[in-house]
Amino acid sequence: MLEIRFHGHSSVQLTSEGHSIMIDPFISGNPLAKTTLADIQVQYILLTHGHQDHILDAVELAKANDATIVATHELATYLDWQGVKTVSMNLGGSVTLPFGKVKMTQAFHSSGVVLDDKQQIVYMGMPGGFVIELGGKTIYHAGDTGLFGDMKLIGDRHDIDLAFLPIGDVFTMGPEDAVIAAEWIAADYVVPIHYDTFPPIKQDGDAFVATLAEKDIRGKALKPGEVLRLP
């Protein structure tokens, strides 16, 4: 059994067989979040890229849980300096962890921490996504990305049970491109992410899922705090 708890935005918690991992924790700064960091117990934290709406709570959550953060080399190094355990990797590479295997895929976006007080932007390596093997399931979290042709290759190379795809537009692909991505990836189940959190990325998740259904693709627009279980 795979339990998926959606914490809003791109924050997804995956739990199976005593293992729990969090992808892109953004709780304290998310106006739609229904939980607190104190309520979350995880052993691993996966970060797709170095924007604040994906890493804001990573250090605090890692320290509270003695959890290990998995990220690109630049981002992992930056967080290691803040006193947390990290696993460094990069696009195309994979690592085997106690819960299963993690492969980092490409994503078309940007990645950097904005230091407003210094008027500086610190480069945080390339953005990415993850193909995760956990509890007998294969999960694809696309991260922040536009549509790109190699999504077809990801679908061809991996038998994906569940895919998390951004639909917010403006900063990532919008619903129309995300439908094409869902077709190319050929996942058994699709959950939209990275939408509604702020006015610029307001979208209708249920309408996106309805469009998927017209193409015989199963999906669900999870509300923050909602849980989905896949046997």
Mean pLDDT of 151-163: 98
User: pTM of whole model > 0.95?
Assistant: yes
**For residue 84, what pLDDT is reported?**
98
**For residue 26, what pLDDT is reported?**
98
- pLDDT bin (cut points 50, 70, 90) of residue 61 is very high
Question: Tens digit of pLDDT for each residue in 169-217?
Answer: 999 999 999 999 999 999 999 999 999 999 999 999 999 999 999 999 9
* HSE-up of residue 200 (Cα within 13 Å, Cβ side): 5
**For residue 206, what pLDDT is reported?**
98
**Pairing assessment for the beta strands 218-219 and 189-193 based on DSSP bridges:** parallel
Asked if 124 and 50 touch (Cβ cutoff 8 Å), the reply is: yes
Q: Which pair of tokens denotes residue 35?
A: 């939980």
**For residue 209, what pLDDT is reported?**
98
The parent domain of residue 135 ranges over 1-228
Question: Tens digit of pLDDT for each residue in 134-145?
Answer: 999 999 999 999
CA distance 25 to 184: 27
CATH code assigned at 81? 3.60.15.10
Say what angle helices 205-214 and 175-185 make with each other, to 10 degrees.
40
* HSE-up of residue 137 (Cα within 13 Å, Cβ side): 22
Mean pLDDT of 73-94: 98
Question: Tens digit of pLDDT for each residue in 8-52?
Answer: 999 999 999 999 999 999 999 999 999 999 999 999 999 999 999
**For residue 89, what pLDDT is reported?**
98
- pLDDT bin (cut points 50, 70, 90) of residue 56 is very high
Q: What does the radius of gyration of the chain's CA atoms come to, in whole angstroms?
A: 16
Question: Tens digit of pLDDT for each residue in 99-125?
Answer: 999 999 999 999 999 999 999 999 999
Say how many domains are in the chain.
1
